[in-house]
Amino acid sequence: MVFDIISAVPDLLKSPFEHSIMKRAIDNNLIEINIIALRDYGIGKHQQIDDYQYGGGAGLVLMPVPLHNCIEELKSKNDYDEVIFVTPDGESYNQSTANRLSLLKRVMIILGHYKGIDDRIRQKHVTMELSIGDYVLSGGELPAAVLVDSIARLIPGVLNDATSALTDSHQDKLLAPPVFTRPANFEGIKVPEILLSGDDAKIDDWRYQQSLDKTQRIRPDLLEDV
Ligand code: ADE
């Protein structure tokens, strides 16, 4: 799957994809991430990309022309399944959206900065607006990293153990059960006996029950539509 990401601050996006699972996925050609610097499409000598908003009010807005030129150039070269804008006033992003997006071939992700982007870009180009939570970040770079990571790990081959994405929290609307590794006794706290029993069926039952209890305790809202 290919992610073409348009950013006003591309350096903010480097590190999340240079390590661990994301790096391996890129090295193995399972995903491709292209970060496009919006500044390259800026206007005039200073390559301007933002300006004051009409009607007054604090905060600069990303101008429509540089974004439009950048988007049009990308569209002339590639076909996009979705053009995503990450924004705190978008639809809530969750695991089921991640699952759906992981089946796509190529997406463009547009990132806002400062006060946002000129609304005409949303009207003209954007097919999907996603928020990663009810709080406001300084720009779309961190949300984009969240999106790409959560989608990429669902692509077959990205995780070593094919089942491990399926056992994540939220994958079946339940929070994940607790996990343990060596030593079996840590500061007097012992690993639950059942996990040492070798009885796979019993272990599965125990994990399911733990997931259910935890979800009831911490996120009962998740159980409402199960
Ligand atoms: N940009 C700033 N805050 C955001 C959020 N919560 N979700 C998505 N994009 C954002």
Domain spans in the chain, listed from the N-terminal domain onward: 2-152, 169-225
Residue 157 CB contacts under 8 Å (≥ 6 apart), including other chains: 25, 28, 30
Interval 143-152: pLDDT, tens = 999 999 999 9
Distance 94 CA to ligand 1 centre (A): 14
The answer to whether the CB of 30 is under 6 A from ligand 1 is no
The CATH homologous superfamily for domain 2-152 is: SPOUT methyltransferase, trefoil knot domain (3.40.1280.10)
The answer to whether the CB of 54 is under 6 A from ligand 1 is no
Distance 60 CA to ligand 1 centre (A): 16
Q: Is the alpha carbon torsion for 40, 44, 47, 49 positive or negative?
A: negative
pLDDT at residue 162, rounded to an integer: 59
The answer to whether the CB of 143 is under 6 A from ligand 1 is yes
DSSP H or E stretch at residue 186 = strand 185-186
pLDDT per residue, tens digit, the chain (226 aa), is: 999 999 999 999 999 999 999 999 999 999 999 999 999 999 999 999 999 999 999 999 999 999 999 999 999 999 999 999 999 999 999 999 999 999 999 999 999 988 899 999 999 999 999 999 999 999 999 999 999 999 999 999 999 875 678 878 887 889 999 999 999 999 999 999 999 999 999 999 999 999 999 999 999 999 997 6
Which residue type does 98 have?
A: A
Q: Contact, 101 vs 150, CB < 8 A?
A: no
DSSP H or E stretch at residue 60 = strand 60-62
The answer to whether the CB of 86 is under 6 A from ligand 1 is yes
Q: Which CATH number fits domain 169-225: 3.30.450.30, 3.90.1150.10, 1.10.1740.10, 1.10.1270.20?
A: 1.10.1270.20
Comparing 2-152 with 169-225, is the CATH topology the same? no
CA dist 153 to 61, 84, 106, 179, 188, Å? 33, 19, 16, 19, 35
Interval 32-54: pLDDT, tens = 999 999 999 999 999 999 999 99
Place of tokens 């978008």: 90
Distance 218 CA to ligand 1 centre (A): 24
The answer to whether the CB of 140 is under 6 A from ligand 1 is yes
Give the DSSP letter string of 128-152. Answer: EEEESSSS--SBSHHHHHHHHHHHH
CA angle at 49 for the pair 43 and 51, rounded to the nearest 5°:
110
Q: Contact, 222 vs 174, CB < 8 A?
A: yes
| Nearest atom within ligand 1 for CA of residue 140 | 1
Tokens of 78: 């590639």
Backbone angles phi, psi at 170, to 5 degrees: 80, -15
| Nearest atom within ligand 1 for CA of residue 132 | 7
Whose C-alpha lies nearest to ligand 1, atom 10? 87
Distance 26 CA to ligand 1 centre (A): 25
pLDDT at residue 132, rounded to an integer: 98
Task: From 7, 86, 97, 147, give the residue whose CB has the most ligand 1 atoms within 8 Å, as the site to mutate.
Answer: 86
Helices 20-27 and 141-152, interaxial angle, to 10°?
70
Distance 110 CA to ligand 1 centre (A): 12
CA dist 189 to 182, 184, 185, Å? 12, 8, 6
